[in-house]
């Protein structure tokens, strides 16, 4: 029995090291206190100790949960929201690029520039879609997922908008999203046009 325990321990440490080096936000989602985060609500963790900021963050996340769950059912509240209010926190989590990013179906991470209700709602929409529509095996269309997340977070794009660029289809094209925010606007426009033609439920729940 002790031999198996020792062997198990030998396996755990390499896995933990790999997670720390290459998937720190996921590891932080599992063990937030290890990364200097404190819980300020059942699913909300942050690095700041300011009670006034805590209240604003909790209110912001609750409003985003409500907006997403009205459309997809009560599926987003189980996701852990990790909020970094400092660059040092983002560095500890190892994901300093995007303002916000969703990992799988259980955690989103916000950088200091992403502490915003629109970003939270956008990322929670990704979580909700993965939990209710996509599942683990369905390969999503990138522009569609980003467009839906933008629509939920911001509402419909103006009816006068036009799609003027080729939109990315798969995650192999995700590098296009790092520096071209117009692609989000283009996807938002495309989804808004589709929803006006087909209805929200038809687009959001398929």
Residues 6+ apart with CB under 8 A from 12: none
What integer pLDDT is reported at residue 147 of this predicted model? 95
Q: Residues 57, 159: one domain?
A: no
Q: Is residue 7 part of a domain?
A: no
What is the average pLDDT value for the chain, to the nearest integer?
Answer: 84
Q: Residues 105, 179: one domain?
A: no
What is the pLDDT averaged over residues 78-105? 85
Percent pLDDT > 90 in the chain is 52
Name the band, by pLDDT with cuts 50, 70 and 90, for residue 15: low
Q: Residues 72, 41: one domain?
A: yes
Q: Is residue 17 part of a domain?
A: no
Name the band, by pLDDT with cuts 50, 70 and 90, for residue 10: low
138, 166, 198: which is the final residue of a domain?
138
Q: Residues 146, 133: one domain?
A: no
Q: Residues 154, 186: one domain?
A: yes
Q: Residues 41, 100: one domain?
A: yes
Q: Residues 206, 186: one domain?
A: yes
What integer pLDDT is reported at residue 17 of this predicted model? 57
What integer pLDDT is reported at residue 149 of this predicted model? 96
Q: pLDDT tens across 123-173, in order? A: 999 999 988 887 766 667 888 999 999 999 999 999 999 998 888 877 666
What's the CATH number where 90 sits? Answer: 3.30.2010
Domain count, the chain: 2
Sign of the four-CA dihedral 166, 170, 173, 177? positive
Q: Residues 62, 79: one domain?
A: yes
Percent pLDDT > 70 in the chain is 81
Q: Residues 87, 134: one domain?
A: yes
Name the band, by pLDDT with cuts 50, 70 and 90, for residue 3: very low
Q: Residues 124, 49: one domain?
A: yes
Q: Model's pTM, two decimal places? A: 0.84
Joined together, the tokens standing for residue 40 give 């300020």
Name the band, by pLDDT with cuts 50, 70 and 90, for residue 20: low
Domain that holds residue 33: 24-138
What is the pLDDT averaged over residues 178-198? 88
């Amino acid at each position: 029995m002790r031999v198996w325990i020792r062997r198990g321990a030998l396996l755990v440490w390499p896995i933990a090291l790999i997670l720390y080096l290459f998937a720190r936000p996921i590891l932080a989602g599992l063990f937030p206190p290890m990364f200097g985060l404190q819980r300020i609500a059942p699913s909300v963790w942050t690095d700041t100790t300011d009670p006034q900021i805590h209240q604003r963050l909790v209110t912001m996340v609750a409003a985003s949960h409500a907006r997403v769950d009205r459309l997809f059912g009560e599926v987003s509240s189980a996701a852990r929201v990790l909020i970094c209010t400092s660059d040092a926190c983002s560095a500890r989590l190892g994901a300093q690029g995007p303002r916000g990013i969703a990992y799988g179906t259980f955690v989103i991470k916000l950088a200091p520039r992403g502490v915003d209700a629109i970003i939270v709602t956008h990322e929670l929409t990704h979580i909700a879609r993965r939990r209710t529509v996509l599942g683990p095996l369905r390969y999503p269309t990138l522009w569609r997922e980003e467009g839906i997340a933008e629509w939920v977070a911001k509402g419909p794009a103006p009816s006068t908008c036009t799609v003027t660029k080729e939109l990315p289809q798969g995650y192999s094209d995700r590098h296009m999203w790092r520096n071209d925010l117009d692609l989000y606007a283009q996807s938002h426009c495309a989804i808004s046009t589709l929803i006006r033609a087909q209805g929200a439920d038809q687009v959001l729940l398929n």
